[in-house]
Amino acid sequence: MIWIARGRGGWAFWIPVLLLIVPILVNDSLHVFASGSRAFGWTVGALGMAAGVLTAALGFYWNRGPGFWTIDSATGLRYFDKSAKHSLYFIPMQYWGLAYCVLVIFIAFLKR
């Protein structure tokens, strides 16, 4: 798997995987979710929203502050970097969490 992450931005990918994909895969053998299609949908929706909120909260926490001083490897000059320290595909981690929440709400309305 190839992704571009800075800092702890890779967690923007792994948090939804751990909270959504793993329980769905082990559901048949361990019966993680309640029986019934509506209960399954609500449980997956709640886990998706939890993944979004956790990702956004960690992103806001880890990316707080005005920026940091760094040295450009090509020129050797020191400059103040205002970009996000923790990002996935150059998108700050907190925005991934907000996107997950919006996606869960969109899917919930789409299923009705």
90 within domain boundaries:
yes
Global pTM value: 0.74
Of 40 and 44, the structure prediction assigns the larger pLDDT to 44
User: Is 102 part of a structural domain of the chain?
Assistant: yes
Mean pLDDT for 48-73 is 87
Residue 35 domain boundaries? 27-61+85-112
Q: What is the mean pLDDT of residues 61-69?
A: 80
In a domain, residue 15? The reply is no
Within-domain flag for 99:
yes
Does residue 6 form part of some domain?
no
Say if residue 92 is exposed, middle or buried (CB neighbours under 10 Å; 0-12, 13-18, 19+).
buried
- Of 23, 103, 95, 20, nearest to 57 (Cα)? 95
Distance, C-alpha 89 to centroid of its chain: 12
Residue 98 confidence (pLDDT) above 90: yes
Separation CA 31–CA 39 (nearest Å): 12
Q: Is residue 78 part of a domain?
A: no
Looking at the 3D structure of the chain, how many domains does it have?
1
User: Do the beta carbons of residue 44 and residue 51 sit within 8 Å?
Assistant: no
